Amino acid sequence: MSDPGGMRRLPVDVSLVPQEDETGVVNGFFVVVFDVSREVAAREADLRHRAELAHVSRVATLGELAASIAHELNQPLSAIVANAQAGRRLLDRVPPDVDEVGHALDDITEAGRRAGDVIASMRALLQRGEVRDERVDLPALARDVTDLLHSEAIGRSVALRTEGPAGGVSDVLGDPIQLKQVLLNLVMNAVEAASHGAGGERSVVIEILQRGPEVEVAVRDSGPGLPSDDPDRLFAPFVSLRRDGLGMGLAIARSIVEAHGGRIWAENGDDGGAVFRVRLPGA
């Protein structure tokens, strides 16, 4: 804060204190000047610090968001490529298998829509910073997920099924696309784990239960089970024990479930394999 002329400038606080004579007439002022350079510097540092913090957390959120978009788009994109390749082979047959090409094209359309849904829901999350509030039927959502992953499971010789509750369960409130992502991530992991399990039946079962006021979805697999040390660390971002894993699936699942007022955790099943449980408050 110095001038070219060598004079130093200081931020100051100036007060005028009126001097009155005994009849109450103001006949002068005391001018009190406080040097407030320390306070001003501290305030500027604080503002700068807060701006930096806001920037850092925005960048961190964007980074996580980018990772989660990459993760969620990977599955529909692989489905599109696989179906397009299958369509090509079916057309090369003599005679071409036109019916099956039609199915491949339907699957491509469905995967493309799903990719669009993922982007729409991420965008909504960014804009409003909140989740959509609708009544969601979890058993119906689980059936959608088993349909979506049907060919993935068959390809890995894994039997995938849903065990519905006998008496039905409450709806939950939330964003159906995000909740579907949670189930997709859990079931994909379970199918992956089951395909590496020891001999015997390879299976993944999605079970839906009413637990008091809450609804629980349990995804149980016949895979090798959880690592014995702290299974909760699997939910941290970028933790993956798979060679090709990004390690975002469970981190995304946890942040979605918690944004819905629910809980998600993992344990080992009674007969080997892992069980991932999600509990959400009923509507």
Ligand X SMILES: Nc1ncnc2c1ncn2[C@@H]1O[C@H](COP(=O)(O)OP(=O)(O)OP(=O)(O)O)[C@@H](O)[C@H]1O
Size of the site for ligand X (CB under 6 A): 21
269 part of the interface to ligand X, by CB under 6 A: no
- Cβ of residue 264: shortest distance to ligand X, in angstroms? 11
Q: Residue 242: name its binding partner from ligand X, Mg ion, none (Cβ under 5 to 8 Å by kind).
A: ligand X
Distance in angstroms (rounded) separating the CA atoms of residues 274 and 283:
28
Distance in angstroms (rounded) separating the CA atoms of residues 276 and 282:
19
- The enclosing H or E element of 161 equals strand 159-163
Among 207, 240, 261, 281, binds ligand X (CB under 6 A): 240
Distance in angstroms (rounded) separating the CA atoms of residues 187 and 184:
5
Among 249, 254, 275, 277, binds Mg ion (CB under 5 A): 249
Residues 6+ apart with CB under 8 A from 78: none
Among 34, 91, 242, 267, binds ligand X (CB under 6 A): 242
223 part of the interface to ligand X, by CB under 6 A: yes
- The enclosing H or E element of 72 equals helix 37-92
71 part of the interface to ligand X, by CB under 6 A: yes
Q: b/e for 66-83, b at 16 or more Cβ within 10 A? A: ebbbebbeebbeebbebb
248 part of the interface to ligand X, by CB under 6 A: yes
218 part of the interface to ligand X, by CB under 6 A: no
| Sites of contact with ligand X (CB under 6 A) | 71, 185, 189-190, 193, 221, 223, 226, 234, 239-242, 245-251, 274
